[in-house]
Amino acid sequence: MSTKKINPFEEMLKVLKRTADLLKLDSGTYEILSHPKEVLTVSLPVKMDNGSIKVFQGYRVHYNDARGPTKGGIRYHPNVNLDEVKALAAWMTWKTAVVNIPYGGAKGGITCNPKEMSERELEMLTRKYASAIAKFVGVDLDIPAPDVNTNPQTMAWFFDEYVKIKGEVLPGVITAKPLSIGGSQGRSYATGRGVFFTGLEALKTKNINVKGAKVSIQGYGNAGYYSAKFFHEAGAKIIAVSDSKGGAYSPDGMDPDKLLEFKKKTKTVKGFPGSDETDTRAPLFTECDIVIPAALEDQITSENVDKVKAKIVLEAANGPTTTEATQSLFERDILVVPDILANAGGVTVSYFEWVQNRQGYYWTEEEVDEKLRKIMTQAFRDVYQTSQEYKVDMRTGAYLVAVKRVVEAMKARGWI
């Protein structure tokens, strides 16, 4: 097995090149699409709890803003590097275009290990980062949000520092904030809700009724739990779930809330009463109607794709199915609903939060839910129709929809 590290930016360019060829884009247009518009690298000195000074590396990338201000999360992780941030910013460009919200794509990150840092050190780091990139973000320029190892509290610190620098309260500069400072209803479970709405549309294409449909889920964090909860409430059976320590299988179905309660007590879903114990990857290969990979990237690969027995693969995680495995599933008539469509509920409700911040008027949970349903349903239909038209898989279909929309905006603005 090769130990060569995959460069995420090069992987993104491979898919982009194939899409550009299908759309018959000229070389100049492809050149613009394959480079980020702006890259900011910053050094962040932080006084640590032991009195020493440590300098952290931070990044913010604006990939493409043809369709509107850029949007993308901030991640704190030891492996954060510029190529990763560039790839994530590009994916955000395609994700916002797929769901047709008026944003471009951006991403930010700091190379650090937040698990080895105190809350005070993380707050200082966040405030330093907010100060360093303050001129690079703004309500009509670039709107950050949480990502890996960041959360509403991180956003609140960033927001507070930004307000001090600007001298005005501008809640729309960052999203997924706590409700007390301008967050939106429905944001905490938006990713799982979006997965559910696209899953309903996917079931229709296979003529399967959601009532009694068998659902299997790898990963039981926020996206996995809420996906399970919404499918269960609609009458589907959650027959298999897993987390990093193992899994649970029950052909009669399991209650997502009881599973979560059990996981909180024991730190794993493994051993859930009335279920058979399995390993972490078992849900991916369980016979079912829908499998939801909601854990890590590269889970379904060319090595194990033959073991997939689902009719639909609904990607709640980022990049859980490799390009080769996607093609193999497509040839077997297994529908893959790609990450840039399936998990776009989070960025869509972040957009709603920004709109509410701009107008100073806040919506009810029901209003947010109805608006999200409309956007996710329409996005699925756009991608499905395009994939049928070009006779390609849904991942390629999603890129075709997104890139076409970005290119139209670039033409309108006279870039090409």
Whole-prediction pTM: 0.93
- Write down the catalytic residue from 107, 177, 237, 270: 107
Active site residue 107: yes
Mean pLDDT of 4-22: 86
For 198, the enclosing helix (H) or strand (E) is helix 190-205
Mean pLDDT of 269-295: 94
What pLDDT shows up at residue 2? 42
Close Cβ partners of 4 (under 8 Å, ≥ 6 residues apart): none
What pLDDT shows up at residue 298? 83
Q: What are the tens digits of pLDDT across the range 39-57?
A: 999 999 999 999 999 999 9
Q: Domain locations in the chain?
A: 37-169, 190-342
- The whole-angstrom separation of Cα 345 and Cα 198 is 10
Close Cβ partners of 27 (under 8 Å, ≥ 6 residues apart): none
- Name which of 319, 393, 282 is nearest 148 in CA terms: 319
What average pLDDT does the structure give for the chain? 95
Q: 32, exposed or middle or buried, with CB in 10 Å at 0-12, 13-18, 19+?
A: middle
Q: Are 159 and 175 in contact (CB under 8 A)?
A: no
CATH superfamily of 190-342: NAD(P)-binding Rossmann-like Domain (3.40.50.720)
Q: Please, what CATH class does the domain formed by 37-169 belong to?
A: alpha beta
Q: Fold match between 37-169 and 190-342?
A: yes
